[in-house]
Each structure stands twice: as structure tokens, then as C-alpha cells.
Amino acid sequence: MVFEHLAAFFIDKFLGNYIEDFDSHQLKIHLWTGDIILENVHLKTNALNDFNVPLEIITGYLEKLRIHIPWKHLYTYPTKIELDGFYLLVTPKTDVNYDVERKEKEEYESKMKQVKKVEEFRRERELFKKNKQNPHHKDTFFERLEFHILRNLEIEINNIHIAYDDKTTKSYPFQCGIILNYIKLHTTNDQWKDFELKEDSKIIYKLAQINNLSIYWNSNIKSRLDLSKQDIID
């Protein structure tokens, strides 16, 4: 149960703003191997709002998310996040039909998110004051765990398709997109070679690798915006 709560905590903390209707019961947890698996999830349509881009998500889908946390060697072995089968279709916000119910839901979620941030900031400020007054303070288990996970985090994303569909000019609709076999971000030494990170390492190097990147542009073709979400994914 502790492991499950821990897994739900980190997924909700880092991905909760982007995954639609996240429920910890969706998680497949393998205690001894440290694997956490989440399959067939959809992105929230307002997942890009925090980035202040004039785009709207029509559909976003992820076949599989795997998180590997090496509990026995947490300070030296990398924590890995692997995403496989990621598809995202976006369009200019002007192309999206106004949906009152969805708009109200997004505004409510945005307000609740701001309230949550204010509450977290208030708690962190109070905790900081208490810790400052206590010279014997030690980081909590969660604080230490989060720190070591982030410093030696590796990310790998396979089979990526990000598409942009624009029919702002009805006489000249077009589509463009990026297809990527995989992108990987991992920890290396100063020679850009894989190595086992030491607990007292002061400098951490990260190497990003991209494989089989292609870009396409199609004009005067039928827009995918008129299809159902399932048809778009298929």
C-alpha cells in the first residue's frame, strides 16, 4: 500500500495536470522490480494552458507509461520514465467550436489549480520558517526521494506523432506534423558516456538523443478535426 500511494503521489504531482481523469487504480504496480505502469491514457484538452500557447488539444493519447524506480539503489541507479505510443493533435484555438460546458469545466479546474498552488506555497513557507528556526531539521523522506529521483532521471519516449491541423482559411486547409522514432534523455559523465552516478556527485551531465525525425506538410486535404477522437487515433 505504501508503494502504491508513493507511485500515485509522484504521478499526480508531475503528470496530474495533463492526464485526464487520473485514478490510482489504473496503475499496475510491480513491487519487487520497482515498475509502475499506466496504459491507454488521454491528455486533458487544456493541458497546454500552462504553457501560454495559442493551441488547443483535440486529442492526446498515450499507449503506455512505465516508471522504474530502483528502490534498492536509489542514490546511484537512474529512475526511468518511458513513454511509448504518443499521439497529439492540436489546432489553433480559433478552430475550436465553443463548448460552454467544457469551458466552464476548464475554468473551474484552472481556478482550483491556482488555489492549490497558493495553499502549497503557504505550507512551504510555513515549513521553511519552522525549519529555519530548527537547526536540527532534516529533510523528510519525500523531500530526499524527490531530490534523488530528479537528479538522476532518465526519460525515453518512443513512437511520437505530433500533428497540427489548421482550417482557419477554409479554401486552403493544411496539416503538418512531426514523427519521431524516439527521444532519450539520460545521465552521463563529462565524456558523455553512461556511468553510475555517485551520491556525492556535484555536477550532473545529461545527454539527449533523437532517432529518425521526419516532418510532413499536407495541403488541401480533408481536415482530421471532423473525425471522432477514436477515428483520429486509429
Return all residues near 79 (Cβ < 8 A) that are at least 6 apart: 67, 68, 69, 70, 149, 152, 153, 154
Q: What integer pLDDT is reported at residue 115 of this predicted model?
A: 76
Q: Which of 148, 211, 159 is nearest to 185 (CA)?
A: 211
Q: What are the pLDDT tens digits along the chain (234 aa)?
A: 556 666 666 677 667 778 887 766 667 777 677 888 888 888 888 888 777 778 889 899 999 989 888 877 777 788 899 999 999 999 888 755 556 676 677 677 777 777 776 676 677 667 656 655 555 555 566 666 677 777 788 999 999 999 999 888 777 888 999 999 999 998 888 888 877 777 666 778 889 999 999 999 998 777 777 777 666 666
Nearest to 177 by CA among 192, 164, 191, 166: 164
Buried b (16+ CB within 10 A) or exposed e, 182-206: bbeebbeeeeeeeeebeeebeeeee
Residue 5 has phi, psi (to 5 degrees) of -65, -40
Q: What 3-state class would DSSP assign to 179?
A: strand
Domain count for the chain: 1
pLDDT, residue 213, reads 94
pLDDT of residue 108: 77
Q: Beta strand 153-166 with 79-92: parallel, antiparallel or unpaired?
A: parallel
Handedness of CA 110, 111, 114, 120 (dihedral sign): negative
70 three-state secondary structure: coil
Q: How many CA atoms lie within 13 A of 73 on its CB side?
A: 11
SS3 state at 192:
coil
Q: What domain range is 35 assigned to?
A: 2-233
Residue 5's pLDDT is 66
Tell me how far apart the alpha carbons of residues 181 and 160 are, in angstroms, rounded to a whole number: 6
Contact 215, 225 (CB under 8 A): no
Q: Phi and psi for 112 in degrees, rounded to 5? A: -65, -35
